[in-house]
Amino acid sequence: MSLTSIEESELPEGDVTVDIAFSTLNYKDALAITGKSPIVKQYPMIPGIDFAGTVSSSTHADFKAGDPVVLNGWGVGEKHWGGLAEKARVSGDWLIPLPKAFSPRQAMAIGTAGYTAMLCVMALEKNGVTPDSGDILVTGATGGVGSIAVALLAKRGYSVTAVTGRSEEADYLKSLGAGNILDRAELSEPGKPLVRETWAGAIDVAGGQVLANVCAGMKYRGVVAACGLAAGMDFPSTVAPFILRGVTLCGVDSVMAPKAERLEAWKRLSEDLDIDLLERMITEIPFEDAIEGASQLLDGKVRGRIVVPVAG
C-alpha cells in the first residue's frame, strides 16, 4: 500500500461525485491497508470504508452540488474506491445526508464504528433489553465501536461493564460512563458452556472464544449483539445458552444495512451521543500517516477513533 496521485477522470463509475473533507480508520481499513486479511476484492483500490464531504456534482435525484453527505460501507474501500482520497465517485443510493448535529470531522469520529455501535444498541432495545434489565457487557471497549457503545449505553441509563486488555485505560472508560472494568483475560480462555448468569445484554466486537464466554454468562433471555471478529471467526460454543436460557444472539451488519436503518441510527446518534465525550475519543492524524496508523490500530495501540483530514 502506498500514496499515489490519480486524475479525477480515473474515478470509478457513479452518479455522485464528492469532495471529501474527512475520512477515518476502522479495523477493516487497517486490515485492508496492512494486507493482514483479504478485505480488498480487486486492485487497484483506494481504501477507506467511510467518508464525509460535499457533493460536487450529481445526477442522482436525492442529491445536488453543495449537499453535505456521509457514506458508510456498501463495499467502498473493498470493491469500490473509497474515502482515503480527496474525491470519490459513488452511487447516490449509498449516501445519506450529513446530520445537522455533526460536522464532517465529528461524523468521521463516529464513522462506521459509531454507526455500528448504535445499530447494536438498537438491536438490544428491539429485543427488550432496558436499563432495568441489568448490566450490559461491552467487549473491546477502548476501540472505536466499544468506546462509543459505552458512551451511548451510559447516556441511556444502562449499567455498563467494559472489557479491555489495557488496564491503564480504566479511567478513560469510566469517563465515558462505564461502571465496571473487566480484564479481557477473564473471557479469553476456553470455559464452560454455562456459567453464572451475569449480563442482561452484551455488545461484542471480538467473536471467537470471547463471544462464546459472553454467551455462557448471559442472564435468562439475555441478548448479545455481535458485530466483530477481532478475536477470530470461530465460535467454540454449544447451544446451551440459547436452549436452556433463551439467549438471543443478534448478528449486526453495518455494510449492507438498509437506508432506513442507517437514517435511524444516525438520528439516534445525534440525540444520544455526547459530543464532549466524542471529542475525548479522537486521535487526528495527517493523511500521509494513515498507513502507519493502520498498523498501530491492529497492534491495539489506538484508543477510540482515528480521524483523517483529506481535503485538498
169 assigned to some structural domain: yes
Average pLDDT, the chain: 94
73 and 92 part of one domain: yes
247 pLDDT above the threshold of 90? yes
Query: pLDDT of 169-179, one tens digit each?
Result: 999 999 999 99
Are residues 125 and 97 both part of a single domain? Answer: no
Lowest mean pLDDT across 92-96, 137-141, 198-202, 280-284: 280-284
Give strand pairing partners of 76. Answer: 80
DSSP E strands in 231-284: the ranges are: 248-251, 282-284
**Does residue 212 belong to any structural domain of this protein?**
yes
Evaluate whether residue 276 is within a structural domain.
no
One domain for residues 93 and 125: no
Q: Which domain holds residue 194?
A: 111-251
State the pLDDT at residue 245.
98
CATH number at residue 90: 3.90.180.10
What pTM did the predictor assign?
0.93
Mark whether 96 and 219 lie in a shared domain: no
User: In which band, very low, low, confident or very high, does the pLDDT at 53 lie, cut at 50, 70 and 90?
Assistant: very high
Q: If you average pLDDT over residues 43-67, what whole number do you get? A: 95
pLDDT score, position 2: 64
List pLDDT tens digits, range 145-176. 999 999 999 999 999 999 999 999 999 999 99
pLDDT the model gives residue 39: 84
SS (H, E, C) 66-96: CCEEEEECCCECCCECCCCCCEEEECHHHEE
What is the Cα–Cα distance from 174 to 181, expressed in whole angstroms?
A: 8
Regarding whether 235 and 216 lie in a shared domain, the answer is yes
Q: For residues 100 and 267, what is the distance between their CA atoms, to the nearest angstrom?
A: 10
Q: Which tens digits make up the pLDDT trace of 196-208?
A: 999 999 999 999 9
Percent share of the chain, pLDDT over 90 = 83
DSSP conformation letters of 20-66: EEEEEE-HHHHHHHHTSS----SSS----SEEEEEEEEE-STT--TT
Q: Which residue has the higher pLDDT, 312 or 106?
A: 106
Tell me, what CATH number does 208's domain have? 3.40.50.720
Q: Within this chain, do residues 198 and 212 fall inside the same structural domain, yes or no?
A: yes
The reply to whether 277 falls in a domain is no
- 1 confidence band (pLDDT: 50, 70, 90): low
DSSP 98: P
**Residues 168 and 240 grouped into a single domain:** yes
Q: Of all residues in the chain, what percent carry a pLDDT higher than 70?
A: 99
If you average pLDDT over residues 236-241, what whole number do you get?
Answer: 96
N-to-C CA span, the chain: 21
Together in a domain, 214 and 160:
yes
The residue-averaged pLDDT of 204-229 equals 97
Q: 176, 198 in Cβ contact below 8 A?
A: no
3 part of a folded domain: no
Residue 41 shares a structural domain with residue 157: no
On whether the CB atoms of residues 139 and 205 are closer than 8 A, the answer is yes
Q: Is 311's pLDDT higher than 80?
A: no
Confidence of residue 43 (pLDDT cuts 50, 70, 90): confident
- How many Å apart are CA 242 and CA 223, to the nearest integer? 10
Q: For residue 304, what pLDDT is reported?
A: 86
